[in-house]
C-alpha cells in the first residue's frame, strides 16, 4: 500500500483518486505503502496506471455511475504501456503537498468465497506464505504445515485476519507513511482497539484537526454506502480505504482496490454488518467502518465529541 515516489500500491487490484481535477499542480508522484510491488506507474495528466484486472475494471465502470463515485478515483479506461495493459485512474495524491498516506484494509474477511472453493478443489500449499508466517510467529504452523513447509493461501489469510484487527474490528491498518518519512508496515499484530488507536494517533501525529477531517469524510462515506446500489449488490473484499492528508490540513479518504470485489447473484443483497457464514457472502465492511469511526471519535478531546 504505500507510496515511494512513483508507482504506488497493490499490484493486482487497485487504484486511487477521485474528484480531483486532472490538471497536475506539480510533478507527478505516486507513493506505494503496501501491496504487490510493481503494480503501478504514473500516467500523464494527473493519472495513475494500475496493472489491468478485469474484475476491477468492471467495478470501476459501475462505480462511475453510482452514488459512490465521489469516493473512488475517477476511472479513465484501459491503456497499454510496454505491452502491459493498465486500468487508468486519477492519481489521488495530485493535489496534496508532501502527503501522509495510510491504507486500511476493510472488512472482516480478506479472501472471497470462491478462493475457499478452489482451496478445497485444488489445494496449492504455498511455501512463500509459510515463510511469511514463521517469520511473524514460529509457533503458528500446524505439524502438517511444518512438515510440508507450506500453507494454503486461505489458511494464511485467516491467520493474518485473526492476528490483526480484521476479525475483531472489521478492518486493519496495512501501513502508513507520514510526510517525507519511511513507510511503516509493521502492523500485523496490531489487534486491540488501544493498539489501533495508538497507530492512528501516530499517523495523524496527534492532530485533532486532521482526525476531524477524516471523521467528517468517513461519516459521509457511511451515509452514501448505506444508499449505494453498487454496495448493496457487491461482496467487497480486500478493498482498502486510502487516507491522505498534508500540512495544509487538507484530508481525503477514498475507496480503492476492487480486484476482489464481486457482483452478487440477483436474489442476494448484503447489509455488510452481519457476521459472515460461508454462503452468505457478508464482508463486514460497514461493521469495520463503524468501528473505525468510533475509534477516531474517541481520539478527539472529550469537548469535541459530537
Ligand atoms: C498478502 C496479502 C494480500 C494478498 C497476498 C498475500 O499477505 O494478504 O492481500 O493478495 O496474496 O501474500 P501479506 O500482507 O501478509 O504479505 P490478494 O489480496 O490479492 O489475494 P498473494 O501472495 O497471492 O498475492
User: Which residue, 185, 261, 228, is CA-closest to 64?
Assistant: 228
Span 95-119, pLDDT tens digits:
899 999 999 999 999 999 999 999 9
Ligand 1 binding pocket includes 126 (Cβ within 6 Å): no
Give 12 Cα–ligand 1 centroid separation in angstroms: 10
- Give residue 28's pLDDT: 56
pLDDT per residue as tens digits for the range 230-255: 999 999 999 999 999 999 999 999 99
From ligand 1's centre to the CA of 191, what distance in Å? 18
Ligand 1 pocket member 238 (CB < 6 A):
yes
CA 95 to ligand 1 center in whole angstroms: 30
All structural domains of the chain with their residue ranges? 2-108+170-304, 116-162
Q: What is the rounded CA–CA span in Å between residue 45 and residue 41?
A: 13
Q: How far apart are CA 162 and CA 49, in angstroms?
A: 33
Phi and psi torsions of 274, nearest 5°: -70, 150
Helix segments in the chain, DSSP class H: 54-63, 113-121, 127-136, 143-148, 153-163, 166-169, 193-204, 208-227, 229-232, 285-298
Q: If pLDDT is split at 50, 70 and 90, which confidence band does 38 have?
A: confident
Ligand 1 centroid from CA 59, angstroms: 20
Q: What does the block give as the cell for 193?
A: 482497539
Query: May I ask the CATH architecture of the domain 2-108+170-304?
Result: 2-Layer Sandwich (3.30)
Report d(CA 86, CA 49) in Å as an integer.
5
Mutate to test the pocket of ligand 1, among 129, 134, 188, 259 (most ligand atoms within 8 A of CB): 129
- Cβ of 12 less than 6 Å from ligand 1: yes
Q: Is pLDDT above 60 for 4?
A: no
Can you read off the three cell numbers belonging to residue 166?
A: 480484521
- Residue whose CA is at the smallest distance from ligand 1 atom 23: 153
281 C-alpha to center of ligand 1: Å? 20
- 86 within 8 A of 52, measured Cβ to Cβ: yes
Distance 218 CA to ligand 1 centre (A): 26
**Residue 279 burial by CB count (10 A; 0-12/13-18/19+): exposed, middle or buried?**
exposed
pLDDT per residue as tens digits for the range 129-172: 999 999 999 999 999 999 999 999 999 999 999 999 999 999 99
If you measure from the C-alpha of residue 36 to the centroid of ligand 1, how many angstroms do you get, rounded to a whole number? Answer: 8
Residue 264 has pLDDT above 50, yes or no: yes
Report the alpha-carbon distance of residue 163 to residue 154 in Å, rounded.
14
Query: In this structure, are residues 109 and 171 in contact, taking their beta carbons and an 8 Å threshold?
Result: no
Average pLDDT, the chain: 90
Q: What residue's CA is closest to ligand 1, atom 7?
A: 157
The overall longest dimension of the chain from CA atoms, in Å, is 56
Instruction: Compute the residue count for the chain.
Output: 306
Question: What is the best residue among 2, 13, 33, 110 to mutate for testing ligand 1's pocket, by most ligand atoms within 8 Å of CB?
Answer: 110
Q: Which residue's entry shows cell 513507510?
A: 183
Q: Which of 17-26, 108-117, 197-206, 241-250 comes out lowest in average pLDDT?
A: 17-26
Calpha distance 40→56 (Å, rounded): 14
How far apart (Å, rounded) are the C-alpha atoms in residues 286 and 289?
5
Amino acid at each position: 500500500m504505500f507510496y515511494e515516489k512513483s508507482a504506488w500500491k497493490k499490484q493486482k487490484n487497485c487504484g486511487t483518486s477521485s474528484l480531483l481535477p486532472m490538471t497536475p499542480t506539480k510533478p507527478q508522484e505516486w507513493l506505494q505503502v503496501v501491496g504487490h510491488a510493481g503494480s503501478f506507474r504514473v500516467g500523464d495528466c494527473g493519472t495513475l496506471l494500475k496493472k489491468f484486472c478485469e474484475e476491477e475494471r468492471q467495478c470501476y465502470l459501475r462505480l462511475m455511475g453510482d452514488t459512490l463515485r465521489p469516493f473512488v478515483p475517477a476511472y479513465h479506461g484501459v491503456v497499454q504501456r510496454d505491452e502491459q495493459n493498465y486500468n487508468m485512474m486519477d492519481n489521488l495524491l495530485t493535489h496534496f503537498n508532501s502527503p501522509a498516506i495510510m491504507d486500511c484494509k476493510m472488512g472482516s474477511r480478506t479472501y472471497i468465497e470462491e478462493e475457499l472453493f478452489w482451496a478445497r478443489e485444488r489445494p496449492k500449499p504455498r511455501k512463500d506464505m509459510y515463510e511469511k508466517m514463521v517469520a511473524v510467529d514460529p509457533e503458528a504452523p500446524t505439524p502438517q504445515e511444518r512438515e510440508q513447509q507450506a500453507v494454503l493461501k486461505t489458511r494464511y489469510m485467516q491467520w493474518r485476519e485473526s492476528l490483526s484487527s480484521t476479525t475483531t474490528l472489521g478492518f486493519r491498518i496495512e501501513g502508513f507513511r507520514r510526510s517525507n518519512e519511511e513507510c511503516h508496515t509493521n502492523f500485523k499484530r496490531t489487534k486491540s482497539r488501544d493498539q489501533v488507536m495508538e497507530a492512528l494517533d501516530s499517523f495523524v501525529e496527534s492532530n485533532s484537526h486532521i482526525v476531524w477531517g477524516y471523521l467528517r469524510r468517513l461519516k459521509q462515506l457511511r451515509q452514501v454506502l448505506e444508499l449505494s446500489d453498487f454496495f448493496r449488490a457487491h461482496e467487497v473484499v480486500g478493498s482498502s480505504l486510502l487516507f491522505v492528508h498534508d500540512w495544509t490540513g487538507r484530508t481525503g479518504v477514498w475507496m480503492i482496490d476492487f480486484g476482489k470485489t464481486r457482483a452478487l447473484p440477483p436474489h442476494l443483497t448484503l447489509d455488510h454488518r452481519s457476521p459472515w457464514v460461508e454462503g452468505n457472502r457478508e464482508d463486514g465492511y460497514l461493521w469495520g467502518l463503524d468501528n473505525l469511526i468510533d475509534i477516531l471519535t474517541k481520539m478527539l478531546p472529550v469537548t469535541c465529541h459530537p
